[in-house]
């Protein structure tokens, strides 16, 4: 035998072997009974021996048919499993995603999206990695992460982005600060006090953004202390070592040692983008983006 049997012929034979009826086997496969008979005859001619005995009263397997069925039924079952597994992966329901995120997304947006995604796609393994915005761009280009929650704006032909969140800036003050009883503060008032911001090593994008906001308004800020993370910023401000500026969403999680206030003369807002490399988009990634976009619409 020079050629291997075709999968559809093996499927036809196994249906007849199980049903022991050409009529029932044809109904099971959804084909015409005469077409089923032709497939079986073609398979027998290719193999060079008879597999099925046909009489007017019954259908049975020959000795060769019995052996052939025992060896091929596992093949067809494995093939069906492989086809199903491939379809699940193609639909983005199985696999893994590596996700980068920065501090602003970690407050609320990213956890909410991840929770909903894992509910819908429990077989997708998620690996979450904290990294600054600039670092995410590098890792996306290297394909060491699949997508990232980063600060915007950002445009590049290699990457695709979706804005999924936008927050106004808010002032962070010690609870006993002289401005803490005010309904709002101004940029000039904030600039008159020592400031606590994230370190340039970890918060470079946001630092440039904040410095630009004050500079455009004609104010120079005195960055007295730096922290590597949001908790450090809140701790330093709460201890009375300075004031700070952060996305207004921090008000939902502020400790008792600080208060947040709107900045009356500041219209600037910080955007959260979901970003990925166009060259490495997968079905699972697209499913994640779809959920993220829905969250962006409800929170925008």
Q: What is the mean pLDDT of the chain?
A: 89
Rounded mean pLDDT, 184-193: 97
49-66 per-position pLDDT tens digit: 999 998 878 899 998 888
**pLDDT over threshold 90, residue 89:** no
pTM for the complete prediction? 0.66
Which tokens sit at 101? 């995120």
The predicted-structure confidence for 205-246, as pLDDT tens digits, reads as follows 999 999 999 999 999 999 999 999 899 999 999 999 999 999
Closest CA to 153 of 99, 209, 75: 209
Contact in structure between 2 and 16 (CB atoms under 8 Å): no
* Beta strands 159-174 and 59-61, pairing class: unpaired
Name the nearest CA neighbour of 15 among 77, 62, 57.
77
Helix ranges, 61-199 (H): 63-90, 103-107, 109-120, 133-142, 187-191
Structural domains of the chain, ranges and CATH numbers in brackets = 7-90 (1.10.10.10), 96-300 (3.40.190.290)
Q: How confident is the model at residue 74 (pLDDT cuts 50, 70, 90)?
A: confident
Is the alpha carbon torsion for 123, 119, 296, 231 positive or negative? negative
Q: Among positive and negative, which fits the CA dihedral 12, 13, 17, 18?
A: negative
Element of type H or E holding 159: strand 159-174
Q: Which residue has the tokens 């995603």?
A: 97
Which residue carries 């606590």 as its tokens?
Answer: 196
Beta bridge partners of 174: 258
Residue 1 pLDDT > 60: no
Kind of pairing between the strands at 124-130 and 258-262: unpaired
């Amino acid at each position: 035998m020079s050629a291997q049997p075709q999968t559809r012929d093996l499927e036809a034979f196994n249906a007849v072997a199980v049903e022991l009826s050409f009529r029932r086997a044809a109904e099971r496969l959804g084909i015409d009974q005469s077409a089923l008979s032709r497939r079986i005859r073609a398979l027998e001619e290719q193999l060079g021996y008879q597999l099925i005995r046909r009489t007017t009263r019954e259908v049975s397997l020959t000795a060769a048919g019995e052996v052939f069925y025992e060896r091929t039924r596992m093949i067809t079952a494995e093939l069906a499993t492989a086809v199903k597994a491939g379809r699940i992966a193609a639909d983005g329901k199985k696999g893994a995603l590596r996700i980068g995120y920065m501090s602003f997304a970690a407050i609320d947006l990213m956890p909410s999206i991840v929770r909903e995604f894992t509910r819908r796609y429990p077989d997708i393994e998620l690996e979450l990695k904290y990294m600054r915005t600039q670092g995410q761009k590098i890792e996306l280009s290297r394909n060491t992460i699949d997508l990232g929650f980063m600060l915007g704006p950002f445009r590049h032909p290699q990457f695709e982005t979706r804005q999924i969140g936008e927050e106004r800036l808010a002032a962070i003050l010690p609870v006993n600060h002289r401005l803490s009883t005010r309904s709002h503060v101004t940029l000039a008032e904030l600039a008159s006090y020592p400031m606590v911001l994230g370190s340039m090593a970890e918060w470079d994008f946001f630092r440039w953004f904040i410095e630009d906001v004050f500079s455009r308004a004609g104010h120079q800020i005195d960055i007295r202390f730096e922290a590597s993370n949001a908790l450090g910023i809140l701790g330093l401000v709460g201890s009375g070592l300075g004031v700070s500026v952060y996305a207004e969403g921090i008000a939902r999680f502020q400790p008792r040692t600080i208060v947040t206030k709107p900045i009356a003369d500041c219209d600037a807002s910080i955007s959260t983008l979901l970003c990925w490399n166009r060259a490495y988009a997968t079905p699972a990634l697209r499913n994640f983006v779809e959920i993220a976009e829905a969250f962006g619409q409800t929170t925008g």
